[in-house]
Chains A and B, each alone.
Chain A
Amino acid sequence: MKKNLFLIFVGIFIIIFASIRIASSNTIYYYTTTEANYLSSTSDQRIKLGGFVVSDSVKKGELGATEFLITDGNVTMKISFDGFIPELFQDEMGVILDGYFSDDIFYSDDMLVKHDNEYISEDGEVYDVENYSE
Chain B
Amino acid sequence: MISSIGILLTWVGSLNLIILFFSNNKKIFQSHVRINLLIHFMLFCLLEIGLFLDDFSIFYIANHSAATTPPIYKFASLWGSLDGSILLWNFVLSIYFYLYIKFYKSTTEIYDIKIFALIILFFNGFTIFSSSPFAGCVQLASIGCQDFTLLPFQDLVISDTGRGPNPLLQNHPLMAIHPPILYLGYIGLVLPFVISTSELFNNYKDENWIKVAEKATYFPWLFLTAGITLGAAWSYEVLGWGGYWAWDPVENVSFIPWLLATAFLHSSKTQIKEQTLINWNYVLSCLMFLSVIFGTFITRSGVLISVHAFSNGNIGTYLLIGLVMFTGLFVYIGIKNVNYFKSSKKVEHLFGRSGFFVANNIVLSASALIVLIGTTYPIFYESFFSKQLTMGRSFYDILVGPLLLILIYLMVFSTKVSKVNLNLKDWLSENQNQINLSLILSIIFTVYFNASYKFIITIFGSILLIIVISKNILRRFKKTKLQGKYWTGQISHLGVGIFAVGLIMNVTQSYSNELIISAGDEVNFGDKEFLILSPFEEIKSEKNVINLPIKFNNKEKYASLNIFKNSSQQAISSPAVFRSIESDTYVTIKVIDEDKYKLIFRENYGIFILWLGLGISSASFLTRIRK
Mark A residues whose CB is within 8 Å of B: 1, 11-12, 15-16, 18-20, 22-23, 26-30, 48, 63-64, 82-88, 109, 113, 121-123, 125, 127, 131, 133-134
Contacts and interface: CB of A to CB of B under 8 A. Distances in A.
B377 interface: yes
- Per DSSP, are chain B's interface residues mostly helix, strand or loop, or mixed? mixed
B123 to A, nearest CB: 19
Interface in B367-425: 369-370, 373-374, 377-378, 381, 387-392, 394-395, 398-399
A24 B129 CA distance: 41
A43 B602 CA distance: 27
Interface string B541-581: 00000000000000000000001000011110100000000
Nearest first, the 5 closest Cβ-Cβ pairs linking A and B are A26-B395, A86-B570, A30-B388, A64-B593, A26-B392
Contacts of B388: 29-30, 48
B598 interface: yes
- Per DSSP, are chain A's interface residues mostly helix, strand or loop, or mixed? mixed
A22 B370 CA distance: 11
Given A23-B377, A26-B398, A64-B591, 9 more contacts: A27-B391, A29-B387, A63-B516, A64-B516, A82-B591, A83-B591, A84-B591, A86-B568, A133-B313
Contacts of B516: 63-64
A28 B391 CA distance: 6
A15 B392 contact: no
Given A1-B342, A64-B598, A83-B590, A28 B82 contact: no
A88 B563 CA distance: 13
Interface residues of B, number: 43
A30 B390 CA distance: 8
A34 to B, nearest CB: 13
Nearest to B131: A133
B374 A23 contact: yes
B28 interface: no
Contact of A30 (B141, B370, B387): B387
B312 A133 contact: yes
A29 B399 contact: no
Given A15-B369, A125-B141, A134-B312, A28 B399 contact: no
B450 interface: no
B570 A84 contact: yes
B362 interface: yes
A131 B374 CA distance: 28
Given A63-B516, A134-B63, A134-B81, A27 B389 contact: yes
Nearest to B371: A19
A26 B391 contact: yes
A64 B63 CA distance: 36
A87 B366 contact: no
Nearest to A122: B142
Nearest to A133: B313
Nearest to A132: B146
Given A22-B395, A22-B399, A83-B591, A28 B389 contact: yes
Contacts of A30: 387-389
Contacts of B590: 83-84, 109
Contact of B373 (A23, A27, A121, A125): A23
A53 B590 CA distance: 22
B141 A127 contact: yes
Nearest to A89: B570
Contacts of A19: 369-370, 373-374, 377, 395, 399
Nearest to B143: A121
B36 to A, nearest CB: 28
A22 B396 CA distance: 9
28 contacts: A15-B366, A16-B369, A19-B370, A22-B395, A22-B398, A22-B399, A26-B394, A26-B398, A27-B378, A27-B389, A27-B392, A27-B395, A29-B387, A30-B387, A82-B591, A84-B571, A84-B573, A84-B590, A84-B591, A86-B568, A87-B571, A109-B590, A121-B141, A121-B143, A133-B131, A133-B312, A134-B310, A134-B312
Nearest to A46: B392
Residue with the greatest number of chain A CB neighbours at <10 A, chosen from B63, B131, B381, B570? B570
Contacts of B570: 84, 86-87, 113
A106 B286 CA distance: 48
Contacts of A113: 570
A23 B591 contact: no
Contacts of B373: 15-16, 19-20, 23
A12 B369 contact: yes
Contacts of A131: 313
A42 B184 CA distance: 50
Contacts of B131: 133
A29 B389 contact: yes
Interface string B332-367: 000000000010000000000000000000100010
B377 A64 contact: no
Residue with the greatest number of chain B CB neighbours at <10 A, chosen from A64, A88, A134? A134
